[in-house]
Amino acid sequence: MLNLERLRTLDALARHGSVSGAADGLHVTTSAVSQQMAKLEREVGQQLLARNGRGVRLTDAGRLLADHAAQILSQVELAQADIEAQRGQAVGEVRIGAFPTAARGLLPTTISALRGAHPELRVRAHELEPEEAVRQVVRGDLDLAVVLDWNNQRLPVPGGLARAQLLDDAADVAVPADHPLAQRAEVDLEDFADDEWVSWPEGEFCYEWLVFTLRSKGIEPRIAHMAGEHHTQLALIGAGLGVCVTPRLGRGPVPEGVRLVPVRQKMLRHIYAIWRVDADRRPSIRAAVSALRSAATPT
């Protein structure tokens, strides 16, 4: 009889490509992963891993069993969803990921509402960028994620995922209080052709969006500083070190020395929840989506 947890370990190795990646995904130690794989090899009587430089790779037998493991785990997920659906209650655990401003602007209210309405449901929250959140939902490391598109650039989302729209979030341009445009009622992005920008870190989805958007306006971006946190970006603006795009969701108090100016052609983030289609029947997923929608609805 094949052990389900060992199959889960093999599946994590196949998806992450390394022992350390599988350990991180399963929230266990690398030693635990190695021990589970050694036991699984004894159970099946074949070598499943082979040395590959400093790492490991799956053997042909390992890849064959990993394919079956993925199908078995998917069926287990469907079975759990059906059992939970038959019971008709949101119970167990739901793991939710969200990008930073959604984690700050939506998750506290969402988790509080779920705790009050479904006391047998445990919620685990994770803050991470949209692209990583999509990968973790696909892998099964997250049950649900809050991600975003910009109105002029879509986030790549693979098949097999369901989605629910939560809200559209407008963004403004933050400028130092003594900036020539600080008192304008509205601005165009072209007005900042000569300014230096404070941006998200290079390689992130929102960084790529900012560069794409500025270039589409004929502006070659002069990015002077990068910061992942919006509060850090605004602190840099307050020190007179450039301008930045700042969304409204989860913004919080604006520092002294910073002015927010609306953009005439609105910059909108489309914020939505995603989850695996095979978990669609789980009451916990439906409850979490409903709570997110309520948290996203203006009062």
pLDDT tens string 45-95: 989 988 877 778 899 998 999 889 888 887 777 777 666 665 667 778 899
The whole-number pLDDT of residue 71 equals 84
Largest CA distance in the chain: 74
Distance (Å, rounded) from C-alpha 219 to C-alpha 189? Answer: 9
Q: What is the mean pLDDT of the chain?
A: 90
Nearest to 73 by CA among 133, 159, 139: 139
Query: What pLDDT was estimated at residue 84?
Result: 66
Beta strands in 43-131 (DSSP E): 49-52, 55-58, 92-98, 121-127
Q: Are 217 and 190 in contact (CB under 8 A)?
A: yes
Whether residue 175 contacts residue 182, with contact meaning beta carbons closer than 8 Å, is answered with yes
Find where tokens 């002015």 sit. 259
Average pLDDT value for residue range 197-219: 94
Residue 199: which of 243, 231, 239, 248 has the closest Cα? 243
Tokens read off for 7? 């199959």
**Pseudo-torsion of CA 278, 282, 286, 292, nearest 10°?**
-80
Q: Determine the average pLDDT of the residues in 93-121.
A: 94
Closest CA to 96 of 57, 125, 117, 134: 125
Give which of 206, 257, 209 is closest to 230, Cα–Cα: 206
Q: Which residue's structure tokens are 């341009």?
A: 173
Count CA atoms closer than 13 A to 1's CA, side-chain side.
3
C-alpha angle 39-19-126 in degrees, rounded to nearest 5? 115
Spatial distance between the Cα atoms of 94 and 97, rounded to a whole number of angstroms:
10
What is the average per-residue pLDDT within 108-134? 93
At residue 138 the predicted structure's pLDDT band, cuts being 50, 70 and 90, is: confident
Helices (H) and strands (E) in the chain, counts: 10, 11
pLDDT at position 88 is 65
Q: Rounded to whole angstroms, how far apart are CA atoms 210 and 29?
A: 38
How far is Cα 39 from Cα 43, in angstroms, rounded to an integer? 6
**Dihedral, 209, 212, 216, 219 alpha carbons, nearest 10:** 110
Under a CB-based contact definition with an 8 Å cutoff, are residues 43 and 6 in contact?
A: yes
| pLDDT score recorded for residue 261 | 97
> For position 81, what pLDDT does the model report?
66
Mean pLDDT of 211-239: 94
**What's the one-letter identity of residue 75?**
Q
pLDDT digits (tens, 9 = 90+) for 156-169: 888 889 999 999 99
Dist CA 219 CA 191 (whole Å): 10
Judged against a pLDDT cut of 80, whether residue 35 lies above it is answered with yes
Classify 295 in phi/psi space as left (phi over 0), alpha (psi -120 to 50) or beta. Answer: alpha
pLDDT at 51: 83
Query: Average pLDDT, stretch 128-155?
Result: 91
Alpha-carbon dihedral sign for residues 28, 34, 40, 43: negative
- Report whether pLDDT(23) > 90: no
Tokens of 242: 């450039």
Structure tokens at 279: 């978990």
Of 29-33, 45-49, 88-92, 197-201, minimum mean pLDDT range: 88-92
Pseudo-torsion of CA 287, 125, 270, 130, nearest 10°?
Answer: -130
